[in-house]
Homo-oligomer: A and B are copies of this chain.
Amino acid sequence: MKNIDSFIRPDIRELKGYHVEDIPCRVKLDAMENPYPLPDDLWTMVIKEVKGTFINRYPDPKAAGLKRVIAKQLDVVPEDIIIGNGSDELIQMIITAFCGFHEKILYPVPSFSMYEIIARALGRGTVEVLLDDKWDFPLDEIKERMMDGDIKIIFISYPNNPTGNCFSMERILRIIEGFEGIIVLDEAYFDFSKKTFLSYLKEFNNLIILRSLSKIGMAGLRIGFLVANRTLIETIVKVKLPYNSNILSQVVSRVVLENRELIDAQVDSIISERERLLKGLEGMEGVTPSPSEANFILFNTYEEAIVIYNRLIEKGILIKKMDDSGRLKNYLRVSVGRFEENDDFLIGLKDSLGEP
């Protein structure tokens, strides 16, 4: 037997991967999923197209059909788009293409944990800059740090996960203008905020917009996409695995997007439920919610968050506990569910607060 440990890249040995909680619960509000299944009419159309798909053939490496629909809805051309196996894979491609080994990426914290996890797996360094006390973008600090020559990419989640707010657009624009490197605007929750930097792509050629279909009802399909100028696209395509997007996800997501109005109705419900949930949390003793332009709400608990989190699980309600080592100590995050799920959560939370 060989000494296998010595074959592992040293920085991988210490790495902790992404941990997915697997706690079966009646009410699942932990993962920012669209709580509504595909409407029946849409499901019928989807199944019809699936039946006409030849899974024995390789998928279209360019995902032309899907890109055409996305391009039309975004008013861009298909050549400005890359489809990823989820945004995660696009983050991986961007770091691979633009950041050398032991060069660095920068992101504010708290933010989406995969920026750090993917960068570390790829052997890249990370620079974290704390959000201010309104969860907004710390412009001066980032401006200072980004002058370090080894920072190649800045990731900005907009709206930010897990805080739910959109950072000041003015501050972000100052960074895009001043940074000699790639800026990734991760707009995974765009459909709930309706705010985007898409129109700035013409002005700034170092900008990449990331989007996802995961939050609007297609988390299972793993379809993310990015939009950027042609030079960036051509570079990222070089590191893209040719058949990274499978044939069924391409077909199904295309049909769903062609019938977007059915999904948009679900998004509208989620937005109005978010507002109801926020009011419910604001009216509750013992918690302070953060305003949200996404499909989830972060809230602070006066008691130990983990205790409340566990009490909710006992009631069959799963939300997300945050890393309690830093700024998110005693914070929990709830994804917006269906009406009755949100009611269950609000009642369950109330019952969980101030228990002996």
Contact = CB atoms under 8 A, between A and B. Distances in A.
Contacts of A249: 246, 248-249
Contacts of A92: 241
Contact of A55 (B18, B31, B38, B180): B38
Given A17-B240, A97-B8, A220 B55 contact: yes
Given A4-B232, A235-B8, A235-B12, A221 B206 contact: no
Interface in A188-243: 204-206, 214, 217-222, 229, 231-232, 235, 237-243
A90 to B, nearest CB: 11
Given A4-B231, A152-B7, A50 B47 contact: yes
Closest 9 A/B residue pairs (Cβ): A220-B247, A101-B101, A55-B220, A121-B239, A222-B246, A248-B248, A17-B238, A18-B242, A88-B241
A35 B58 contact: no
Nearest to A9: B100
B37 A56 contact: yes
15 contacts: A4-B232, A7-B206, A12-B96, A16-B238, A17-B238, A17-B239, A20-B61, A36-B56, A43-B51, A85-B244, A122-B239, A221-B246, A221-B247, A222-B246, A248-B249
A81 interface: no
A12 B238 contact: yes
Interface string A1-23: 11011111100110111101000
B219 A12 contact: no
A334 interface: no
A243 B232 CA distance: 25
A46 to B, nearest CB: 9
B217 A55 contact: yes
Interface of A: 1-2, 4-9, 12-13, 15-18, 20, 28, 31, 33-38, 43, 47, 50-51, 53-59, 61, 85-86, 88-89, 92, 96-102, 118, 121-123, 152, 180-182, 204-206, 214, 217-222, 229, 231-232, 235, 237-249, 252
Copies of the protein in its oligomer = 2
A206 B2 contact: yes
A323 to B, nearest CB: 16
A58 B152 CA distance: 31
Given A4-B206, A38-B55, 20 more contacts: A2-B206, A7-B98, A7-B206, A17-B242, A31-B58, A33-B58, A38-B56, A47-B50, A57-B219, A57-B220, A58-B220, A85-B244, A85-B246, A88-B243, A101-B123, A121-B239, A220-B246, A221-B247, A221-B248, A248-B249
B56 A217 contact: yes
A59 B252 CA distance: 15
Contacts of A54: 37, 220
Nearest to A28: B57
A267 to B, nearest CB: 12
Contacts of A17: 237-240, 242
A202 to B, nearest CB: 10
A41 to B, nearest CB: 14
B235 A248 contact: no
